[in-house]
Amino acid sequence: MGHVFVRLAGHGLRLVPYWPCRFARAAGPSLVEVTVGSWEGERRAVIGPGAASVPDVVDVNEGTVTGDWRLEVGPFTLCSRWAASRR
């Protein structure tokens, strides 16, 4: 498995998941669940500020976006309030 071209950035982090992956809202407004599927089954990680990389699920890097989560594809950014809307 390799990385995907879409990243999720926000709350001072940049998440680079492995393929195939899915992002979902988690319990808190700054938390996101990353799910990666494989022949062995699914692996999940809940990531938020201060989180570390989870092998074979998601690489967590320092990011420049301090606000809500947004998708990044190359030089383009898609802003969305989906992660902040769950209470």
In a domain, 20, yes or no: yes
Domain holding 71, by residue range, is 6-79
The answer as to whether 38 is a domain residue is: yes
Q: How far apart are CA 45 and CA 43, in angstroms?
A: 7
Instruction: Look at residue 34 and tell me if it is in a domain.
Output: yes
**Mean pLDDT of the chain, nearest integer:** 84
| pLDDT band of 39, cuts 50, 70, 90 | confident
57 occurs within a structural domain = yes
- Among residues 86, 78, 55, 84, the alpha carbon closest in space to that of 8 is found at 78
pTM: 0.82
If one counts the domains in the chain, the total is 1
User: Given CA atoms 68, 51, 71, 87 in this order, what sign does their dihedral have?
Assistant: negative
For 49-76, what is each residue's pLDDT tens digit?
999 999 989 999 999 888 888 888 888 7
